[in-house]
């Protein structure tokens, strides 16, 4: 890489206002080796390429971007299902990379995940009681005699009745997603990472699940990292939004500001192309082309080949995520280069 | 409703497989109840009735020592089935352990174990068995062990492949994020979901093992006289095939039907366990 972005330590306003962030990413990178054939040179897929963000208490932080921008990799890094290539993920100020054994177990009690595909995220051979009591068993959160009662409580939290003896294939996608949410809640976590929790569901079900998440948030004070490509959902649910493009955050702002006044051309197009519900809304802007391969990231600003506003420095100089204009944006239009 | 209930329902719909299962169950019953069912002692020699053709007294005729062929075949089914089950039991145990370790831990362990599988696969199994049995005294136990120890490679590969895909599945990742350790992840979440193809392979394996045992006994390297086995009855039969067809026909048919039934059950299981069809099955 010719020009390396030197990102500020913390760019989250919410994180600064509330004393200590729960989760903080510093220069987080995850590169996957890609080798085509035994003789080929190893190339690197830069899924996450230098990410800084922080999550405060009782907030919803949204990561937005097209598919392939590295969102799900961030989720897996957060859960320590993957190890970062470089950079750190801090939980309460401590790097999670060296956690092993009991310390790792404790971390996994604090941070939970909801996956995108509810059909893949439940063990088909275990019934609801088995699935939901397992976290309690592992962490010793209840006496075995209490499992049934506790699981029923969890189920009622997610709006389900007594389905203890039933198996995943007997449920619809929305019901399964509720069970997945109940599993995440079973350990009373501080943070839930929701990796596109709605995109595999029907639109009518999406609203139900989103309402459920909203209720949980206001009742329990759990912080969310909400990963999505759907901006309408993000607008409704999140406090702070970071827009990702090819493994980097290119704009970050409180949700209200971002939707009122997007600054990065990519954010603008993304917002404009999101199908609105108002009838007679003006014609949608359409983003041309595909996301470039994260193996061959374009020089300069990674977005320049698709950018409607590109000018002379864009294909040469990598824009930094800077808050010159009051909000962090990685674009030469807003920052001096 | 458990998945096994769904599987059973789908299995029943396949008539051939169901017929195969009925035959297999009947054979198991016959083998277990051999002393009660067999009309004669399998080793009782009757020199007045040597090579007598099928009759009301001896439905499948008698052999060169006047022993009742039906009784010998009923006792022979014990050999065939126990060799089939024990040998396959050994094979799938080894296969599951090696496949699980290779698939779950990956890396160098995976490479080493899979190269070992490749090496094992280069050895012509049947000749290895002949060699081993030539050195060790042939008995039903040697046969079981030899068939098992030379037959686990396919199972190991199947299990490894299942582990490789399953360990990336969301529900396995979810178990890990719930705090599950390696043992819990393997035994509660991955292995139970990796076993379907193993069951199928095991069913085909039983058929294969029965054939191998018959072949070894036919060559005189398997079950030793006077104990009966379908293969050894067949050996006697070949000496008298021009005069006593029943000595060859009935054990031959028994092997054919048994192997065919196991293969039908295997195919039925394969279809019934196909995970691509799980989701379409309503409650």
Distance from CA of A125 to the nearest CA of B (A): 7
pLDDT per residue, tens digit, chain A (337 aa), is 344 444 444 444 444 444 688 999 999 999 999 888 888 888 899 999 999 999 988 899 999 988 878 888 999 999 999 999 999 999 999 999 999 989 999 999 999 999 999 989 999 889 999 999 999 999 999 999 999 999 999 999 999 999 999 999 889 999 999 999 999 999 999 999 999 999 889 888 999 999 999 999 888 889 999 999 888 888 888 999 999 999 999 999 999 999 988 999 999 888 887 766 555 555 556 677 777 888 888 888 989 888 888 888 888 888 888 887 788 999 888 887 6
Chain A CB contacts of B279 below 8 Å: 119, 169
SS3 content of chain B, % helix, strand, coil (to 5): 75, 0, 25
Give the nearest partner residue to A167 out of B2, B175, B193, using CB atoms.
B2
**Where in chain B are the domains?**
72-281
> Nearest Cα to A236, choosing from A217, A266, A256?
A256
d(CA A190, CA A209): 19
Helix pair angle (B69-105, B140-149), 10° resolution: 30
For residue A139, the chain B residues in CB contact (below 8 A) are 179
* ipTM of the modeled complex: 0.86
Give the nearest partner residue to B170 out of A121, A139, A187, using CB atoms. A121
Q: Is the dihedral of CA B108, B111, B117, B122 positive or negative?
A: negative
User: Is the Cβ pair A113, B174 closer than 8 Å?
Assistant: yes
Site from B4, B9, B162, B179 to mutate, A interface, most A CB atoms within 10 angstroms: B179
Q: Are A233 and A196 in contact (CB under 8 A)?
A: no
Find chain B residues with C-beta within 8 A of A167's C-beta.
1-3
The pLDDT tens digits for B77-136 are 998 899 999 999 999 999 999 999 999 999 999 999 999 999 999 988 888 888 888 888
Closest CA–CA distance from residue B107 to any residue of chain A (Å): 15
Which site among B168, B171, B173 would you substitute to test the A interface, given the most A Cβ atoms closer than 10 Å to its Cβ?
Answer: B171
This model's pTM is above 0.90: no
Distance from the Cα of A138 to chain B's closest Cα (Å) equals: 6
Nearest CA-CA distance, residue B271 and chain A, Å: 17
**Gap from B174 CA to chain A (nearest CA, Å):** 7
Query: CA gyration radius for chain A?
Result: 21
Distance CA A98, CA A112 (A): 19
CATH of domain B72-281: 1.10.3720.10
Q: How far apart are CA B228 and CA B73, in angstroms?
A: 7
Residues on chain B bordering chain A, Cβ-to-Cβ distance under 8 angstroms? 1-3, 6, 169-180, 184, 188-189, 192-193, 275, 278-279, 281, 283
Reported as a single tens digit per residue, the pLDDT across A211-262 is: 999 999 888 889 999 999 888 888 888 999 999 999 999 999 999 999 988 9
* Contact indicator for A328, A334 with CB cutoff of 8 Å: no
Contacts of A76 in chain B (CB under 8 A): 173
Record: contact B177-A108, CB cut-off 8 A = yes
* Cα distances (Å, whole numbers) of residue A138 to A121, A147, A309, B115: 18, 12, 53, 36
CB within 8 Å: A123 and B171: yes
């Amino acid at each position: 890489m010719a020009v390396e972005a030197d990102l500020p330590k913390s760019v989250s306003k919410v994180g600064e206002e509330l004393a200590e962030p729960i989760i903080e990413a510093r220069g987080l990178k995850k590169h996957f080796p890609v080798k085509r054939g035994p003789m080929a040179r190893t190339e690197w897929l830069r899924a996450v390429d230098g990410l800084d963000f922080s999550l405060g208490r009782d907030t919803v932080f949204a990561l937005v971007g097209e598919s392939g921008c590295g969102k799900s990799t961030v989720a897996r890094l957060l859960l320590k299902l993957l190890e970062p290539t470089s950079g750190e993920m801090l939980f309460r100020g401590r790097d999670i990379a060296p956690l092993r054994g009991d310390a790792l177990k404790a971390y996994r009690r604090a941070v939970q995940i909801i996956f995108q595909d509810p059909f893949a995220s439940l063990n088909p051979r275990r019934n609801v009681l088995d699935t939901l009591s397992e976290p309690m068993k592992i962490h010793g959160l209840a006496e075995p005699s209490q499992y049934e009662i506790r699981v029923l409580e969890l189920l009622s939290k997610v709006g389900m009745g007594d389905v203890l003896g039933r198996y995943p294939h007997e449920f619809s996608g929305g019901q399964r997603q509720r069970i997945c949410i109940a599993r995440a809640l079973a350990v009373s976590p501080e943070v839930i990472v929701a990796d596109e929790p709605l995109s595999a569901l029907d639109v009518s079900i999406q609203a139900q699940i989103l309402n459920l998440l909203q209720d949980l948030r206001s009742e329990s004070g759990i912080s969310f990292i909400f990963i999505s490509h759907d901006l309408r959902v993000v607008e409704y649910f999140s406090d702070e939004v970071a827009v990702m493009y090819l493994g980097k955050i290119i704009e970050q702002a409180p949700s209200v500001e971002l939707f009122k006044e997007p600054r990065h051309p990519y954010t603008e197009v993304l917002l404009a192309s999101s199908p609105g519900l108002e009838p007679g809304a003006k014609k949608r802007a359409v983003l041309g082309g595909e996301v470039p391969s994260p193996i061959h990231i374009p020089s300069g600003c990674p977005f320049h080949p698709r950018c409607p506003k590109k000018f002379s420095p864009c294909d040469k100089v990598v824009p930094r995520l800077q808050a010159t204009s009051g909000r962090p944006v990685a674009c030469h239009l807003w920052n001096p280069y | 409703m458990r998945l096994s209930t769904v599987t059973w329902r789908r299995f029943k719909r396949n008539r051939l497989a169901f017929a195969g299962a009925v035959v297999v169950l009947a054979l198991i019953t016959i083998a277990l109840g051999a002393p009660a069912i067999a009309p004669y002692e399998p080793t009782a020699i009757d020199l007045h009735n040597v090579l007598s053709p099928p009759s009301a007294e001896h439905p499948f005729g008698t052999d060169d020592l006047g022993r009742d062929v039906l009784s010998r075949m009923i006792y022979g089914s014990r050999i065939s089935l126990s060799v089939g089950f024990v040998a396959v039991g050994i094979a799938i145990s080894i296969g599951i352990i090696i496949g699980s370790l290779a698939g779950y831990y990956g890396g160098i362990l995976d490479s080493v174990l899979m190269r070992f599988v490749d090496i094992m696969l280069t050895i012509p199994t049947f000749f290895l068995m002949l060699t081993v049995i030539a050195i060790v005294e042939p008995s039903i136990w040697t046969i079981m062990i030899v068939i098992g120890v030379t037959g686990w490679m396919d199972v190991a590969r199947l299990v490894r492949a299942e582990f490789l895909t399953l360990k990336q599945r969301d529900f396995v990742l979810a178990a890990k994020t719930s705090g599950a350790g390696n043992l819990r992840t393997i035994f509660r979440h991955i292995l139970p979901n990796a076993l379907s193809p193993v069951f199928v392979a095991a069913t085909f394996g039983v058929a294969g093992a029965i054939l191998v045992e018959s072949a070894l006994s036919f060559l005189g390297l398997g079950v030793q006289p006077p104990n009966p086995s379908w293969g050894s009855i067949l050996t006697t039969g070949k000496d008298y095939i021009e005069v006593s067809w029943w000595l060859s026909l009935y054990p031959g048919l028994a092997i054919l039907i048994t192997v065919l039934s196991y293969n039908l059950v295997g195919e039925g299981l394969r279809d019934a366990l196909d995970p691509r069809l799980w989701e379409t099955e309503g409650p």
